[in-house]
Amino acid sequence: MHIDSARRDQLQEWEKELSAQYQRICQHELNLDITRGKPSADQLHLSDKLDGILNGDYRAADGTDTRNYGGIDGLACARNLGADILQVPSEEVMAGGNSSLTMMYHAVLTGYLFGFAGNTPWREMQAPKFLCPVPGYDRHFSICEQLGIGMVNVPMTEHGPDMDVAEALVRDDQEIIGIWCVPKFSNPTGVTYSKETVDRLACLAQIANPGFRIFWDNAYAIHDLEHQVNLPSIRSATLENDTADSVLQFASTSKVTHAGAGVAFVSASAANLASLKKQMQAMTIGPDKVNQLRHSRFFAEFTMLKAHMQKHAQILKPKFECVLNQLNQAFGDSDLGEWEEPRGGYFVSFSTRPGCAAAVVKLAADAGVKLTPAGATFPYGKDPEDRNIRIAPSFPPLEELDTAMSVFVLCVKLASVRKQLESL
Ligand SMILES: Cc1ncc(COP(=O)(O)O)c(C=O)c1O
């Protein structure tokens, strides 16, 4: 289908055919959901041996009795695990509780209330703002929105955030105090940042407010589907440019073991870790070291973690293939949409023709297929062009995903034809 070159009568004919197909699908009373990027039950089963793994032996290798209070940095063996995932030295890692998102929230709060490494707290500024590569992760944007921190969109390219735009914004506005980054298999575009992007990000601190911080959310650091994709090291890039204090890195085992019941990590320079710890010490006596020990025993070697991730990939790969096959078949030769073919992570990002995303989501919902709300991947839930839809293939069984994608494809066609007819 090529909508731009179609005549009105052709569009009217398509609309009639597609509407009839859509009516037939609505009669099936489907109830399918491809909204959130949750692991499937099959993936969760891969880690069920965590339960009981300690078998009464609660002592870590360094002698720590994990049942007792203390150790705000986390267990040494858990910090090693975080260091392996983030590819940084373990001295620069704190192992925490069950959620990296919570850690990010606390880190933003630290910058906001107290400032990092002796810099001005962001709350003392007139209009502190974060750069938000879009489309991006809705929960990052919710943190800023809740704290009243402004958000400025930066378009994502196939190499990461558009750095010309990011640099110009930072140069012009000294109240830009952060940027959200999902550098590997970005949520939702699946893009991995290029070396040039990472290098330019590492240099942002040279022109930004000294309190500026990069929030490097490496949630999909080890979530490759087939061949390993290498993310250039932001740590090395900042060390080379004397900007090591400008970055805070995050990761967790949420999509490695049991989602929401894993271990989260933050890695940063000594000065930043000291700022984080100062705030955390008032908040907690220490993390759940028992769970940290479970994870450290489960992944006694990094090779075990790698092998475990390959099992995830085996489950996820057919689901990504299903989504991409449907998109290629339906839209490969069309002007109805654009998408990336991610090599890992949890999402496929689809861009409709301008002004169609909300209509597609509504049509799909009425046909019994729940999609992530249009706009959710943008700050304040506002996609200026109403184009982006995030598809999350991981959770439903393959057959359900396939049906949901058939409905999705039909809804994209129908919404696009109707929109074009309206505009003629
Ligand atoms: C980019 C990104 N960061 C963080 C999270 C949540 O991580 P956690 O479970 O460690 O809080 C997700 C979950 O979807 C995510 O996509």
Render pLDDT for 206-237 as a digit per residue (tens, 0 to 9).
999 999 999 999 999 999 999 999 999 999 99
Peptide linkage before 188 cis (omega within 30 of 0): yes
* Whether pLDDT at 9 is above 90: yes
* Whether pLDDT at 407 is above 90: yes
Backbone angle region of 256, left / alpha / beta, with phi > 0 → left and psi within -120 to 50 → alpha: alpha
* Rounded Cα distance, 385 and 399, in Å: 32
pLDDT in tens, 11-24: 999 999 999 999 99
Counting from 1 in the atom list of ligand 1, the atom nearest the Cα of 255 is 9
Peptide linkage before 135 cis (omega within 30 of 0): yes
Residue 100: CB within 6 Å of ligand 1? yes
Distance 176 CA to ligand 1 centre (A): 24
pLDDT in tens, 124-171: 999 999 999 999 999 999 999 999 999 999 999 999 999 999 999 999
Residue of 187, 192, 222, 347 best suited for mutating to test ligand 1, as the one with most atoms within 8 Å of CB: 187
- What residue segments make up the domains of the chain, in order of their start? 8-43+306-423, 58-300
CATH number for the domain whose boundaries are 58-300: 3.40.640.10
Residue 349: CB within 6 Å of ligand 1? no
pLDDT at 36: 79
Which of 256, 193, 257 lies closest to 230 in space, CA to CA?
193
Give, in order, the Cα–Cα distances in Å from 287 to each of 87, 204, 205, 232, 410.
22, 33, 31, 30, 48
* Rounded Cα distance, 337 and 322, in Å: 17
Q: How confident is the model at residue 7 (pLDDT cuts 50, 70, 90)?
A: very high
Distance 227 CA to ligand 1 centre (A): 22
Whole-model pTM? 0.97
pLDDT at 336: 97
Distance 258 CA to ligand 1 centre (A): 13
Residue of 218, 253, 255 best suited for mutating to test ligand 1, as the one with most atoms within 8 Å of CB: 255
Number of Cα atoms under 13 Å in the Cβ half of residue 299 = 28
pLDDT in tens, 52-67: 999 999 999 999 999 9
pLDDT at 85: 98
Distance 415 CA to ligand 1 centre (A): 31
Residue nearest to atom 15 of ligand 1 (CA): 219
* Whether pLDDT at 363 is above 90: yes
Distance 41 CA to ligand 1 centre (A): 18
Residue of 142, 184, 222, 254 best suited for mutating to test ligand 1, as the one with most atoms within 8 Å of CB: 254
pLDDT at 63: 97
pLDDT in tens, 72-90: 999 999 999 999 999 999 9
Residue of 44, 101, 349 best suited for mutating to test ligand 1, as the one with most atoms within 8 Å of CB: 101
Give, in order, the Cα–Cα distances in Å from 188 to each of 24, 147, 336, 342, 351.
31, 23, 19, 9, 11
Which CATH superfamily does the domain covering 8-43+306-423 fall into?
Answer: Aspartate Aminotransferase, domain 1 (3.90.1150.10)
Distance 239 CA to ligand 1 centre (A): 26
Counting from 1 in the atom list of ligand 1, the atom nearest the Cα of 101 is 11
Residue 154 contacts residue 161 (beta carbons within 8 Å): yes
Residue 388 token pair = 């982006």
Instruction: Tell me what the pLDDT averaged over the chain comes to.
Output: 97
* Rounded Cα distance, 132 and 215, in Å: 10
Residue 34 token pair = 């491809």
Residue 145 contacts residue 100 (beta carbons within 8 Å): no
* Whether pLDDT at 370 is above 90: yes
Residue 272: CB within 6 Å of ligand 1? no
* Rounded Cα distance, 322 and 16, in Å: 27
Residue 357 contacts residue 389 (beta carbons within 8 Å): yes
pLDDT in tens, 173-203: 999 999 999 999 999 999 999 999 999 999 9
Residue 187: CB within 6 Å of ligand 1? yes
Counting from 1 in the atom list of ligand 1, the atom nearest the Cα of 252 is 10
